[in-house]
Structures are given as C-alpha cells and as structure tokens.
Amino acid sequence: MAKDPDKLGIFVTNPQYMSHLVKIVEAAQRAGKKVKVFFTFKAIHLTKQPDFPKLVQMIPEADLAICADSYTCEGFDVETDIPGGMTPKQMRTQAYHGEILDECGKYLVL
C-alpha cells in the first residue's frame, strides 16, 4: 500500500501522555488529516483512563489498536476485558506498527 501523505502514524510507548495524545489527534483532524494510533507496552495503561473511550470514538476502527501481548503482560485479559469502546479486531501485534510505517506519510512517537 502506498503511503498516505495526509495520515499521521502515532506510536504510543509512554503511559503518561493521554492529554497530549487527545489534543494531537484533535489538532490533526482540525487540519483535515487522518491518524493511525498504536499503543504498546506500558502505554496500554492509557486504555484505563476515563478519556480513552472518547479517543476510540474519534478514530475509525481500522486506525486504532493496542498490542495484545503488552496488554496480557501487564496483567489484563485480552478476551474478557477489552478496553472501553474497542473491538476484538483492535487487539493486535507489533505488525500493526509495521502497518503504520507502511501507510502513514508522517510519524510521531509518544
């Protein structure tokens, strides 16, 4: 797939930037851009924050995912405890990070 020049990939590795993340996604969308977001390792704890379901609603299903292995390693259950607003399809592997690099013309790490 060719890179979409109007799409920002966001690789979220840090568990303390919920407010930055939401504001960056809002700003991208105000500018008419798309985002694709992947949460890995400790950043999956952001799924437990009250703002998380709102973030999920802002982004198409195919463009937001978390690392299922990280979620399990941090003690949560990938089948019975899918984070607020998400679907099982959004519980992914590190290959999703590869998709971000393939698809997104712009890239940011948080």
Partner 1 sequence: MAESLKVFFLIANRIYISDGIRSTLGLSVENHYSHACIFYNKMPKVTEYVQENIDWIRDMEGDVFAVVDTMDEEAKKYNVDEVGLTAITLEELAQKLREADVIIGYGLPRQKHAPPPACAD
Partner 2 sequence: MKILHVYRNEPNEEVQKLVSLLNEGNEAMEFKLYEAKEDADYDRLIQMIWEADKTISWW
Give the interface with partner 1 as residue ranges (CB under 8 A).
Answer: 1, 11, 13-14, 40-42, 70, 93-95, 97-98, 101-102, 107, 109
Q: Name the helix (H) or strand (E) containing 104.
A: strand 104-109
Instruction: Report the residue from 1, 31, 75, 79 that binds partner 2 according to the rule CB under 8 A.
Output: 31
62 or 95, CB closer to partner 1?
95
Tell me: does residue 23 bind partner 2 (CB under 8 A). yes
- Binding residues for partner 2, rule CB under 8 A, total 17
Instruction: Give, rounded to a whole angstrom, the gap between the first and last alpha carbons of the chain.
Output: 25
- Percentages of the chain per state (helix, strand, coil), in multiples of 5: 45, 25, 30
